[in-house]
Amino acid sequence: MGIKAYLQDKAGNLLGASWAAPIRVALHGRGAGDFHSPYDFTATRSGDNQLTLTGSGLPTITDSSQFRAVRAYDVTGRLVAEFYNSGRTGFYWDSLGAVLTVGGVKFSPAASSFEVELQGQHRGYSATETSWQSYQVNPEHAWTQQSTPVDDTNITDGTVYYYVDFDQYRYAGYQISLDCDAATVTATLEASLQDDGTAQGSCAYQDVTNDLFGVASLVAAAAPASDMWVIDTPFPAKFLRLKIVYATGGNTGDATVYFRGTY
């Protein structure tokens, strides 16, 4: 898609141009952070060096530094003066009266209309609707988490749960090692999408071991067993619960688990 540029004077008259030489066109964004009168709002002369700004298109002004320039034009649209917000001609904003003062100058009697250029918040921006926008500026170590949630030896028979709040992650991995002298130690993974403020231990869980990893469980009988379970696609769970069942006939069940979550 190309850009077609027309050259006009302040009165809107179309000007001719020689296309033999290149023409540089400066695009001023109106409504994309840059605001201009008389296009977005009205600037009316109210003193020797003062302008009153009005109109629904006037953005929120919190500081005088938002103003960039003031340009004065005569009745023919000819530029007669131009002021920038720096040095001797500082700009001063009276928010109560909506008056902009250009310091250290006096407008020419020939000045018939004014253009005020300022920078403001994009009028289409909504802090609520745009809150989903984010930028990843952290190094890798700041958006991954490693832990050893399980390092148990000589566990008596029974069921033990280990929880991870998965809400802040997209991917996860478990490296699991189980051992016992007799009977079994079994590990499965359960997930919950319940995100209503209920404590993790009281949420409703579903067994997702087979769904995610293609096996019903990781089981260690008389010999040790180890495996690495990896959730390598984005997973919508709020909580993950690693369930380990010790049925060893004594206090000889061992389990070691390493966890890594990635945002």
The CATH number of residue 115's host domain is 2.60.40
**What residues contact 20, with CB distance under 8 A and at least 6 apart?**
none
1 within some domain: no
Same domain for 98 and 150, yes or no, is: no
Same domain for 91 and 157, yes or no, is: no
Total domains in the chain come to 2
Structure tokens at 150: 């399980």
219 within some domain: yes
Structure tokens at 115: 């253009």
243 within some domain: yes
Strand partners, 178: 225, 255
Residue 102 has pLDDT above 50, yes or no: yes
Residue identified by tokens 């066109």 is 25
Residue 95 has pLDDT above 90, yes or no: no
8 within some domain: no
4 within some domain: no
pLDDT for 196-220, tens place per residue?
888 888 899 999 999 888 888 888 8
The whole domain housing 213 covers: 142-262
In this prediction, residues 149-154 reach a mean pLDDT of 62
Structure tokens at 214: 């293609």
pLDDT for 161-185, tens place per residue?
888 888 777 888 888 888 776 678 8
| pLDDT confidence band for 99 (50 / 70 / 90) | very high
Same domain for 104 and 62, yes or no, is: yes
pLDDT, averaged across the chain: 75
Same domain for 146 and 227, yes or no, is: yes
Rg of the chain, C-alpha, whole Å:
34
Residue 60 has pLDDT above 60, yes or no: yes
**HEC profile for the chain?**
CCCCCCCECCCCCECCCCCCCCCCCCCCCECCCEEECCCCCEEEEEECCEEEEECCCCCCCCCHHHEEEEEEECCCCCEEEEEECECCECEEEECCCCEEEECCCCCCCCCCEEEEEEECCCCCCCCCCCCCCCCCCCCHHHCEEEEEEEEEEEECCEEEEEEEEHHHCCEEEEEEEEECCCCEEEEEEEEECCCCCCCHHHCCCEECHHHHHCCCCEEECCCCEEEEEEECCCCCCCEEEEEEEEECCCCCEEEEEEEEEEC
Among 119, 151, 170, the domain-final residue is 119
Among 86, 119, 152, the domain-final residue is 119
Statement: the pTM of the whole predicted model exceeds 0.75: no
